[in-house]
Amino acid sequence: MPGPLRWSARVLTVLVALALVLAGVVVYTVRKSFPQVDGSLRLPGLTGNVEIYRDKYGIPQIYADTAEDLFMAQGFVHAQDRFYEMDFRRHLTAGRLSELFGKATIDNDKAIRTMGWRRVAEQELPELAQQTRDYLDAYAKGVNAWLAANPNASDRSFEYSILKIQNGDYEPEKWTAADSVAWLKAMAWDLRSNMEDEIDRALALTKLPRERVEQLYPGYPYDRHSPIVTEGTIHQDRFDQRAEPRTRAAQALGQAARTLDAVPSTMGSEDRAGIGSNSWVISGEYTESGKPLLANDPHLAPQMPSVWYQAGLHCRKITEECPYDVTGFTFSGVPGVIIGHTDKIAWGFTNLGPDVADLFLEQVRDDTYLYKGRQEKLDVRQEKIKVAGGEPVTITVRSTRHGPLINDVIGSARPSGEANAVALQWTALTPGRTADAVFALNKAGDWGEFKAAASLFDVPSQNLIYADTTGKIGYQAPGRIPVREHGDGTWPVPGWTGEYDWKTAPIPYDQLPSVEDPVDGFIVTANNAVIDPRRYQPLLTKDWAYGYRSERIRDRIKDAISKGPIDAATMSAIQQDTYNDFAETLVPALMRVDLAGPSGEARQMLKTWDRMQGLDSAPAAYFNAVWRQVLMLTFNDDLPEAARPAGGDRWYDVVARLLDLPDDPFWDDVTTKNYRETRDDILRQALASAYQELTDLLGPEVKSWRWGDLHRLELVNGSLGTSGIAPIEALFNRGPLAVPGSKDAVNATGWNVQRGYETTAVPSMRMIVDLSDLDKSLWINLTGASGHAFHDNYWDQAEAWARGELLPMRSKPESIKKVAVHTLTLMP
């Protein structure tokens, strides 16, 4: 062997040996933090033994004799699998990320400190029921017992070993009840209502006259898409399911609304672009078993690990002191079950989306602000942000009576005109009792107890659906929803006049819409309008999803009813539905356009397309590429970047109306000189540009295009997975996975037309509860139970999730023990 080549071989041998040694160190470090799941452990503070059974997916089922032991064990188990995630979240919710990651996260911390999530959580704790505080403390004891038993970074999680390289002095603090409550504030923020819509309207107004901005926010199509509640109104200060609005005023309002709906240039509201959810419940009248079936799949930004953690919490004997037998989806860091079933009832959530946040434009001078002709003192506080590897940063947070001034930390919330500051008023910045609601739901046994629990659910406001083992189904709208003196919450308003202030009391709980055993025999919620304002006041919001998902679910249910009894497989098939409703409107318009060149072959595929968006569909790939081009070509030249369309069903209605107005100014590209584009010019360009884009991405053979090759999901770790260091990201991120569906299909895998086809929102879990036999229920998580990279349960559910499969959701002791592959006993 020649000398130089021999030297190269020796170098390669050494490098391979070093890589193997390094790999061995990494494997050892990673596996060192895996939890003990068999045998027995001492857990100081327990009053009796606790058994934890895990199936092959690592899902724990916990059995205890007291409620305090049960929640203490839950804290221990959450910490075993997800402590780093919990620690990261509590730093996020407290505005303390920079203590972990240095100056890169200072802006995040400034925003959170300004809103004061942690401060509100601390204020909330004393207002909670004593029993709730006891359970939160028990949970914290379980977390801290695990933390004490794992004092070294390498014992806790691989992330801590990585973090030591950058931030060697960091040591996690003990867990507290406030850490758990603060995460509920983060949930409320993710599920807030239309604050971005208010900002987008105001931004659009900087480039367009108001009437053209209002064109982009058409009213909800009540004539085509049913609201959730179709029965009842407020009668004698309570919502009465059997009451009907029969006054002359109500009739006049109905006539006026129908007239306005017919006007092409409407004044009104908006779609909930972004996250959403589906849930529905079907009466036993239509099911194979004769008992209800309930389905739920919340749509959230994908996370690695998933935001959800599956678990069962079981008192060995149900008593007043230990009343819990509940199975479902939990948040690591929070005791109890958020969505699931007890031994008697089941419930699901979708985002109701009421307008619970308003932006108030303020006139600030020095340390005062103008209010009703007087200068009032600003509330001022200092927030000191510690920064790993750097000097602390101190910010000054100023607040008016409407809330904190956010314009310094939320860049898109810019004041204008007479105003020089923007305040955020948001219901979640007032202490509430949502933590009480979680424990009350977890022990509810009938409709009355469920409604009592829902009355405590302050924020975020959710559509709550219900079913029980007696056969009853129902719906309840809970939450703290403000009543305004004037205005409808759709635009930022002047704060100095006082005329748009919130009234002291929100909408009374007894007046919020509620339905028990509706005449239809089923209830569907998918972020659509809750109730027609012609039968219900006060205002909940004007900004709903536009009902494409909900109406498709209703149609699928009606079709299933016509064919015979419904079972869990039918419910699952509906969850997997990928139909694109708007194709029925857009495809005929595309077909009428004169078109020459190679894009004509691609367009031909749309003629026979079944409107389904499966992985292998070439027409779905082309249609979505055309839709992307239609939105960008039509609106990007008219709107500031932050207000441009991301997609979603509001834009379905906007474009549908424009298709009947071929010379509307929105069709014209204002960047072209001496030429005025019309509808057909834009549609023709969209067809050609989409063809060229897919040719570049997928090749020239149109029939070989696949929607799944464009629409893919990367599972990205929420902290180190976005480090910007490729080898680190590779350790914690997974994927990509090809996924079917789209933003407003029932299988709602969202994507942003401004950025491309990558999946940005997903059904974060799926659940189907069978009230005839709870052991026949089904569920799946987006990733897996474990937060430990390389653990067998880190993302072992992801591929099954992508295929639309479900796993058994066991809750009976005998079936749980039968499939258990691990059993751990915790002892005092």
pLDDT at position 28 over 70: no
The 3-state DSSP class for residue 361 equals strand
Judged by average pLDDT, the poorest of 80-94, 232-246, 695-709 is 232-246
Around Cβ 12, how many Cβ atoms within 10 Å? 10
**C-beta of residue 430 within 8 angstroms of C-beta of residue 480:** yes
CA distance 293 to 4: 72
**SS3 call for 193:** coil
Hey, how many other C-beta atoms are within 10 angstroms of the C-beta on 277? 26
Residues 6+ apart with CB under 8 A from 561: 286, 521
Which segments within 164-269 are labelled E, that is strand?
A: 233-235, 238-240
Cα 437 to chain centroid, rounded: 19
Active-site pick, 269, 277, 742, 811: 277
CB-CB contact of 724 with 644 (8 Å): no
| Cβ atoms of 139 and 71 closer than 8 Å | yes
Q: What is the model's pLDDT at position 597?
A: 86
Query: Cβ-count burial of 166 within 10 angstroms (0-12 exposed, 13-18 middle, 19+ buried)?
Result: middle
The alpha-helical segments, DSSP class H, found in 644-710 are: 649-659, 679-698, 707-710
Per residue in 172-193, pLDDT (tens digit) is 999 999 999 999 988 888 777 6
User: Has residue 26 got a pLDDT over 70?
Assistant: no
**Run of H or E residues at 827:** strand 822-827
Q: How is domain 583-612+614-710 classified at the CATH fold level?
A: 1.10.1400
d(CA 164, CA 169): 7
Mean pLDDT of the chain: 91
Report helix, strand and coil shares of the chain as percent, to nearest 5: 40, 20, 40
355 is annotated as contributing to ligand binding = yes
Confirm whether residue 99 is marked as ligand binding: no
Asked if residue 728 has pLDDT above 60, the reply is yes
For residue 394, pLDDT over 70 is answered with: yes
Q: Strand 493-494 to strand 357-362: parallel, antiparallel, or no bridges (unpaired)?
A: parallel
Residue 157 is among the residues annotated as catalytic for this protein: no
pTM (two decimals) = 0.92
Residue with the two structure tokens 């691990």:
822
The tokens describing 710, both together, are: 């464009």
Residue with tokens 């495809």: 587
For the chain, give every domain's residue range: 1-32, 583-612+614-710
Q: Which residues, in sequence order, are bridge partners of residue 738?
A: 712
Q: What is the pLDDT of residues 734-752, one digit of tens each?
A: 999 999 999 999 999 999 9
Q: Are 699 and 691 spatial neighbours (Cβ–Cβ below 8 Å)?
A: no
Q: Is 198 annotated as a binding residue?
A: yes
Residue 823 DSSP SS3:
strand
Q: Over 90: is that where the pLDDT of 754 sits?
A: yes
Mean pLDDT of 662-678: 96
Residue 440 has pLDDT above 50, yes or no: yes
| 749 vs 761: CA distance, rounded Å | 6
Q: Give the C-alpha separation, 727 to 742, whole Å.
A: 31
User: pLDDT at residue 259 above 70?
Assistant: no
Mean pLDDT for 476-493 is 94
- Answer whether 614's CB lies under 8 Å from 706's CB: no
Confidence of residue 273 (pLDDT cuts 50, 70, 90): very low
DSSP state of 288: S
User: Could you report the per-residue pLDDT of 34-83, keeping only the tens digit for each?
Assistant: 999 999 999 999 999 999 999 999 999 999 999 999 999 999 999 999 99
Q: Would you say 647 and 711 are in contact if contact means Cβ atoms under 8 Å apart?
A: no
Q: Is the pLDDT of residue 498 over 70?
A: yes
Give the integer Cα–Cα distance in Å for 14 and 38: 40
Whole-number percent of the chain with pLDDT over 70: 91
**Omega before residue 538 within 30° of 0, cis:** yes
For the cut 60, the answer to whether the pLDDT of residue 276 exceeds it is: yes
Task: Classify residue 806 by burial, with Cβ atoms within 10 Å: 0-12, 13-18, 19+.
Answer: buried
- Listing DSSP states for 395-420 in one string gives EEEEEETTEEB-TTTSTT----TT--
**pLDDT tens per residue, range 771-818:** 999 999 999 999 999 999 999 999 999 999 999 999 999 999 999 999
pLDDT at 167 over 90: no
Burial, 757: exposed, middle or buried (Cβ in 10 Å; 0-12, 13-18, 19+)?
buried
Distance from C-alpha of 534 to C-alpha of 232, rounded to nearest angstrom: 11
